Amino acid sequence: MPVKGFKFSAVEAAVKKPGRLDLGLIFSEVPAVAAGVFTTNKVKAAPVVLGIERIKDGLCQAIVVNSGNANACTGIRGMDDARETSRLVAEGLGIADEVVQVASTGVIGQVLPMERLRAAVPKLVEGLESGSLDGVSRAIMTTDTFAKMEIRQCEAAGVPYTIAGIAKGAGMIMPNMATMLAFIVTDAAVEQSWLKKVFSESNDASFNIISVDGDTSTNDTSLILANGMAGNPTIREGTGDAETFRSQLQAVLLALAQQIVRDGEGATKFVEISIKGAQSVADAKKAAMAVANSSLVKTAFFGQDANWGRILAAVGYSGAEVDADRIELFFDDVQMVRNGVFTGGNAEEKGSEVLKRKEFAVTVDLKLGQGEATVYTSDLSYEYVKINADYRT
């Protein structure tokens, strides 16, 4: 499903090692209104520093991204390399340097092999005539085991438009945001200030409700470009078309976020954690994230051990208001806890059967109010340790 006015390219630059696509380019034929969300880590990679500055203008025409090297903790040299990469792409495309966004992912602390990037950029630009968004999605993978892409087709005032997104991420996944990159393109015409608002909200409702291992990266970048080439009347806040755009954008981002969790490093389980009955939404999210990030809970999921006590302990230290004598807990539809006490009988056996599934839900009802929150997480396996012990070799 094409996105009007956008072209894509991916090539091998041997950034870390040869034998795979590792340099991608997204190009809009016209300058697009743009918005971005970046890592909250105080140690920010050079491309993130550059991107935060450039996104202030609300315009972007190209995104160039490499995998295999994060260009993080590389000092002045790293900033120079990020700027040179941008300049090389801008010159190749014949556009202003300031409308190029640069992104990187991979090993921290190593300088980019600029001689390889310089050699690869002409091929990258040339490849726009035959490349695909899928190619870029594969070029940004690191420990990912599959490429992540999602597409929706919508209408505004009867005019069809498309929202398409790609993402990468499998480890160092936790708000805010995750060790991830996400690039969303749409040919819809969207008012820039509202796009910035709705994109931030959509990130909160997707990439900020997932966790694989509780780590936050130096390179997290989520960008959206809207070039208006579908020809629809500009979508503005407060209209029916705006609500359609919001819901479809959130659907794309949430689907990508869930793909990241399913591809968690070494993960064998996809788990939905839902907190109900909290005193507030903030309390519900605190409790949900505490459960999702608990290593003890996640290893119990991997071991298929219905250890509900670990879940209650995480809820208890989360900072949410809790009355231990009211809590109810379910694995899917199997009630494990009622009024803070194990339900007994064959609940242990039934609960363990639920945990043998590849996907299941954990629901905790605090019985204190109307606050609710849902987050998504994975288990923590032997393979996770192996992957990260060998990551740089």
* Tens-digit pLDDT profile for residues 46-93: 999 999 999 999 999 999 999 999 999 999 999 999 999 999 999 999
Q: What is the CA radius of gyration of the chain?
A: 22
Distance from C-alpha of 330 to C-alpha of 96, rounded to nearest angstrom: 55
Residue with tokens 């130096």: 218
- What pLDDT does residue 381 have? 77
Give the pairing of strands 210-211 and 371-378.
parallel
- φ, ψ at 331 (rounded to 5°): -105, 110
CB 58 within 8 A of CB 196: yes
Residue 318: the pLDDT is 96
Spatial CB neighbours of 239, under 8 Å, sequence gap ≥ 6:
none
CATH topology classification for 6-262: L-amino peptidase D-ALA esterase/amidase (3.60.70)
Question: Rounded to whole angstroms, how far apart are CA atoms 201 and 299?
Answer: 31
Determine the number of helices (DSSP H) and then strands (DSSP E) in the chain: 11, 15
Pairing between strand 270-278 and 359-365?
parallel
What is the tens place of the pLDDT at every residue in 27-51? 999 999 999 999 888 899 999 999 9
Catalytic hit among 39, 74, 179, 343 = 179
Q: Binding site: what residues are annotated?
A: 142, 168, 179, 265, 388, 393
DSSP characters over 160-225: EEEEEEEEE-SSS--SSS-S-EEEEEE-S-B-HHHHHHHHHHHHHTTGGGEESSS---S--EEEEE
Q: If you count them, how many residues does the chain have?
A: 393
Domain boundaries along the sequence of the chain: 6-262, 270-389
Indicate the annotated binding residues for substrate: 142, 168, 179, 265, 388, 393
Question: Is 145 part of the annotated catalytic residue set?
Answer: no
Residue with token string 């396996």: 381
Fold category of 270-389 in CATH: Ubiquitin-like (UB roll) (3.10.20)
**What local confidence, expressed as pLDDT, does residue 178 receive?**
43
Looking at residue 261, what is its pLDDT? 87
Q: Which residues of the chain have pLDDT under 70?
A: 1, 170-179, 212-216, 265-266, 384-385, 387-393
Q: Would you state the pLDDT for residue 144?
A: 86
